[in-house]
């Protein structure tokens, strides 16, 4: 297993795109973080895995985005989205991810990112879900440099 790269500060670019899965031949959504080659693990792959496993339709994205608005306005302090793969604990400062089945383990550490990164990535994910299933469909989300939580 390739170690997780964990620089303290860096710009993050998340790319959602359709690619071919060969067995059986199907188009599916893939993710690239900072154009690292496959096999290089980056902490933001936890965010990517959470989006892939837990938001399968636009309506689910919209529901969470509405809760984020309530958090940003100060109407609520926390929203917890219990997805199929991860438990997303959303607060004004950050979003923490815990694997829904394994909890905290070596392959899936409890990890968090700034709320602004989560919101931007979720909006990008929502956008790719609304695009045609085509190798021409691609969404890039650029996240500003912030210190990792």
The predicted pLDDT at position 123 comes to 98
pLDDT tens digits, one per residue of 57-71: 999 999 999 999 999
pTM: 0.85
Tell me if 91 sits within 8 A of 149, measured CB to CB. Answer: no
Q: What is the DSSP string of 34-73?
A: TTPPTT-B-THHHHHHHHHHH--SHHHHHHHHHHHHHHHH
The predicted pLDDT at position 10 comes to 63
18-34 b/e (C-beta count within 10 Å ≥ 16 → b): beeeeeeeeeebbbbbe
């Amino acid at each position: 297993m390739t170690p997780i790269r964990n620089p303290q500060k860096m710009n993050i670019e998340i790319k959602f795109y359709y690619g071919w899965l060969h067995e059986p031949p199907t188009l599916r959504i893939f993710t690239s973080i900072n154009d690292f080659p496959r096999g290089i693990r980056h902490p933001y792959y936890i965010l990517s895995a959470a989006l892939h496993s837990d938001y399968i339709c636009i309506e689910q994205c919209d529901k969470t985005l509405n809760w984020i608005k309530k958090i940003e306005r100060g109407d609520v302090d926390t929203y917890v989205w219990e997805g199929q793969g991860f438990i997303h604990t959303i607060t004004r400062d950050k979003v923490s991810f815990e694997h829904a089945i394994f909890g905290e383990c070596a392959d899936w550490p409890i990890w968090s990112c700034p709320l602004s990164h989560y919101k931007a990535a979720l909006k990008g994910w929502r956008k790719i879900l609304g695009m045609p299933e085509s190798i021409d469909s691609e969404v890039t989300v650029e996240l500003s440099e912030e210190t990792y939580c």
